[in-house]
Amino acid sequence: MNSIVTFPNRIPTTEFEERRFKVYTDRQLDKIEVIQNLPEETLFEMKVVASVLPFRVNEYVINELINWDKVPNDPIYQLVFPQKGMLKDEHYERMAKLHREGADKKEIQAVAKEIRDELNPHPAGQMEMNMPELDGEVLDGVQHKYRETVLFFPAQGQTCHSYCTFCFRWAQFVGDKDLKMASTEAEKLHGYLQEHTEVTDLLVTGGDPMVMKTKNLVQYLEPLLQPEFDHIQTIRIGTKALTFWPYRFVTDKDADELIDLFAKLVDAGKHVAIMAHYNHWQEITTEIAEEAIRRIRATGAEIRAQGPLIKHVNDDADAWAKLWKKEVQLGIIPYYMFVERDTGAKNYFEVPLVEAFHIYREAMKKVSGLARTARGPSMSAGPGKVEIQGITEINGEKVFVLRFLQGRNPDWVQRPFFAKYSETATWLHELEPAFGEEKFFFEDEYEEMKKGNG
């Protein structure tokens, strides 16, 4: 029997029916009724790509967020459904041949693994350089790249309500244990945080921690209210659930317990920041999405919005401006515009840095100061978060003006540097130092860090 959740003290009063979560993976493509109207070749392409890259979509996204009259150009359709161009031609043809010939599952999986290994599954040194130790043992499921911030990957949160086709953590979702980061050991996380009082921020990430039951989240977060964790000032939770399953915060069976947990953390003096991943304004057009936002904000937690600029989804200044305006209207803080990372289906989604900067600048010109908190375009590269500040000409040379927003060495932060102008570069490693310099100022030190694994 469905239950009704009401919020009588809110204006307007809204009723929401509890909704059953129904999900589809590559094994249920033929069960998604609405796509059966698509061309047969399109369905075959989906099957081929989904045997290499992870695919997962739920019924809410299919029915509420995608405008099927605009498919294949609808941005949310591009965000969740596999497209042929997501694989390089040679990879696609290799996998398509197996499917056409009726190859067995084992052979398909073996070839899929070979292709994945060529897609830079863990970019920016995250499996080599960010792995901390406690008592001489590497901590699985924990990353410590920047001095003040520790990332934690709870094992119960290493999936998502739906998968983004561009996700830079796609390797978490393909069933290969060698590619997965996760931990169930709360005690080791807490032990590491106790030893490292320079850490002020814990980021619980995934996957999506909001697929977890609240009782599991409690075991990781409530102990941080003890005095020995006073240095942990901010608890961040990275999630796409505000888009893909806002019912998590409203009508799910433990939604009230989740909201109470946020309130308890805030009341105890912790800064709780929900790091919401938004890519397009269509994601916040439903009443349930707005109610989820209202409930979170009512606890005293804040919501910050971030996401990459990606071709086929949001490579348009008007779309970003509309998204940022809507976020501000709902009390969300625009936080980051990222550049699509050099992993997975980057060949399909990447945008040249020069184009990314122009889109960012044009979008900024269309919004008020409250939306100009969004930093970018930012590359989360091995050395740190590098922002494109501008394009200019100095002594007759056209250059990118860059700076570190965050760095493996804190001394790099906010230090400007310059790269030769390029029409085609899409990532930091494709840029060359300007003014005849052989290297960027940080390169030698970064190479030493890599030799010492961090």
pLDDT in tens, 337-391: 999 988 889 999 999 999 999 999 999 999 999 999 999 999 999 999 999 999 9
pLDDT in tens, 252-271: 999 999 999 999 999 999 99
pLDDT in tens, 162-215: 999 999 888 878 765 554 555 668 899 999 999 999 999 999 998 999 999 999
∠ CA 92-97-99, rounded to 5°:
95
**Residue 9 banded pLDDT, cuts 50, 70, 90:** very low
Is 450 part of any domain? Answer: no
Beta bridge partners of 4: 17
Region 119-143: mean pLDDT is 77
Q: Taking Cα atoms as reference points, which of 256, 253, 238, 243 lies closest to residue 296?
A: 256
pLDDT in tens, 219-252: 999 999 999 999 999 999 999 999 999 999 999 9
The count of structural domains within the chain is: 1
pLDDT at 179: 47
Is 48 part of any domain? Answer: yes
Tokens 């999405």 — which residue? 289
Would strands 56-58 and 201-204 be described as parallel, antiparallel, or unpaired?
Answer: unpaired
Residue 99: domain span: 4-117
Is 90 part of any domain? Answer: yes
Is 226 part of any domain? Answer: no
Is 91 part of any domain? Answer: yes
Type of residue found at 352:
P
Is 53 part of any domain? Answer: yes
Is 131 part of any domain? Answer: no
Rounded to whole angstroms, the Cα distance separating 280 from 71 reads 15
Is 160 part of any domain? Answer: no
pTM of the model: 0.92
Over 90: is that where the pLDDT of 422 sits?
yes
pLDDT at 264: 98
Tokens 């939306």 — which residue? 371
